[in-house]
Chains A and B, each alone.
Chain A
Amino acid sequence: MQIPRRIIDDFKNDRKGILPPLKPILRLVPMLFYLAAASAFVLTTLFIVHTGILKANIVVYNAGIADAKAQIANTAAERAKLEMRILKATDVQAWVEGSRPLQPLAVAVSRSIGDNATLGDLKLTRDEQSPATLTLTMKLGSASATSRQQLDLTTASIAKDYRLVQPQQTFSQGEVDYRVTLVNPAQATNDPQEEAAPPVLNTP
């Protein structure tokens, strides 16, 4: 059955209470919605990418820290090794300082003895606490008139290489008991450069 168009029109209500059309500016609402959605997507992507970069940086920083720590450990080990060698060198230097040959000194004393004098005893002893320091004890015999001159000659021969400290001498009937402490001036500087290098030995 067909209903005529005129009758259908009659079914319509009165349109007095209908809302007025929306303002044109409100068209921005959906646009802003989609913009916000797109921004959220872009920002989230950016945050994720940035987080990835930061994580990569963390790996680099961790590697850098580990590398620096390893190098610090190496440096510390090298320093400890060097300090050990310095201690050894100091011990060796102290030994060498206190081991200067005595033979040249004994020979110098003997050679200083003139024809009119005799060398009774000669004793050279190193100080236990300071081996670079020597104690020389000797007994000179000569005519009483020349004993002092002989002693001067002998001490002059020693004084070429050593500083004479606290000399004690006793004269009695042409004999002189002489005792003196000898200090090598070069040893007082405590500089290894002034120490003699070890002699070059010929291998047999």
Chain B
Amino acid sequence: MMARKERDKTALTANSLQAEEIAERTALTASATQLNTLQKSSETLITFLDQWEPLLEAVKTGDSAEVQFISKIRDGNLVTLSQRFETVQLKAGSALPTATRAQLTFEDNYARLMNWLGGLEENLPTVRVNSLKITQGTRPQDVRMELTVDQPIYRP
């Protein structure tokens, strides 16, 4: 009698655990399916991130962004009238929360300026030229170019 009661009690526990295991396995299957669906739907976006991430990670701090800008300006050997750098807030909580903003003014030959700008945008593909203003320079053959460029600081 005691053995039967013990057996019945154990059977009850075993049945409830079996049901719980089945429920957990079902939940696991559902969660794995959802993950798979999400992986498939985001594949293009993730590939896109994988392509751009190394370029963004190359500039880790505001100082390195500033050094990068200064190096490009020096390489261009342009007549620089002014250069100013500041840190600006982009979007709090995003992958690109801040940026180093460069406000640059040059006065030089039109072709040299355009080549330099093209080179800047090609070699530093993550920068964003926010505004570009081209006006007549002091000398007839020169033009004045005022630029505002942002280099985002990536938060990996």
Residues of B within 8 A of A57 (CB): 14, 17-18
Instruction: Using A68-B21, A75-B31, A92-B53 as known contacts, say yes or no to A101 and B121 having CB atoms under 8 A apart.
Output: yes
| Bound complex: CA A126 to CA B101 (Å) | 14
Interface size bracket, A side? 35 or more
| CB contacts between A and B, total, < 8 Å | 181
Pick from B59-67, B77-85, B131-139 the stretch touching chain A: B131-139
Q: Are A197 and B51 in contact (CB under 8 A)?
A: yes
Residues of B within 8 A of A93 (CB): 45, 48-49
| Bound complex: CA A129 to CA B128 (Å) | 14
Instruction: Using A54-B11, A103-B114 as known contacts, say yes or no to A61 and B18 having CB atoms under 8 A apart.
Output: yes
Q: Is the interface of B mostly helix, strand, loop or mixed?
A: helix
**Chain B residues bordering chain A, tally (CB within 8 A):** 57
Residues of A within 8 A of B21 (CB): 61, 64-65, 68
**Residue of A with least CB distance to B150:** A99
Q: Is the interface of A mostly helix, strand, loop or mixed?
A: helix
- B95 CB contact (under 8 Å) in A61, A72, A87, A110: A87
Instruction: Please list the residues of chain B having a beta carbon within 8 angstroms of any beta carbon in chain A.
Output: 3-4, 6-7, 10-11, 13-14, 17-18, 20-21, 24-25, 27-28, 31-32, 34-35, 38-39, 42, 44-46, 48-49, 51-53, 55-56, 91, 94-96, 110, 114, 117-118, 121-123, 125-136, 152
